[in-house]
Amino acid sequence: MASFGKILSRAFFWSYERGTWQYDIAVAVILIFALLTPRHWFHDQPASGVPAAPGQVLLLSQDGNRETYRVDTRVLAPPTKLALQNDLHNALKEALPDLHKGNFSIVKIEPERDEQGTAIAYHVEIRR
């Protein structure tokens, strides 16, 4: 019978052949870990662009449960029409502590343009 250290070494370095019961147990353990691990153990989020610096997300107005923010385009990845609302939602959620839970919806998005017509920021109206 193999020693416990040798069994751990073979399992760690994945040296069991396919079709053996040890290989099957290792695969089952990996599947159980991948499928049953709680999502909150991992705090990774996809990056939506450059991290927001002070002044890149500004509150413009507040009316009851509606707020309008100015979001600089530099905090967003290059936008596609379908992903713009999602990127703005993520940028607001990451930049403002009181929106971290993401319990808000975007009501209106208006681009702010420079002299050449390039969007330099977005005015985003949200509803909590």
Contact 127, 66 (CB under 8 A): yes
Q: Would you say residue 82 has pLDDT above 80?
A: no
Give the DSSP letter of residue 17: P
pLDDT band at 64 (very low <50, low <70, confident <90, very high): confident
pTM of this structure: 0.45
> What DSSP string describes 66-115?
EEEEEEEGGGSPSP-TTTHHHHHHHHHHHH-GGGTT---EEEEEEEEE-T
Higher pLDDT, 67 or 52: 67
Contact 124, 92 (CB under 8 A): yes
pLDDT band at 72 (very low <50, low <70, confident <90, very high): confident
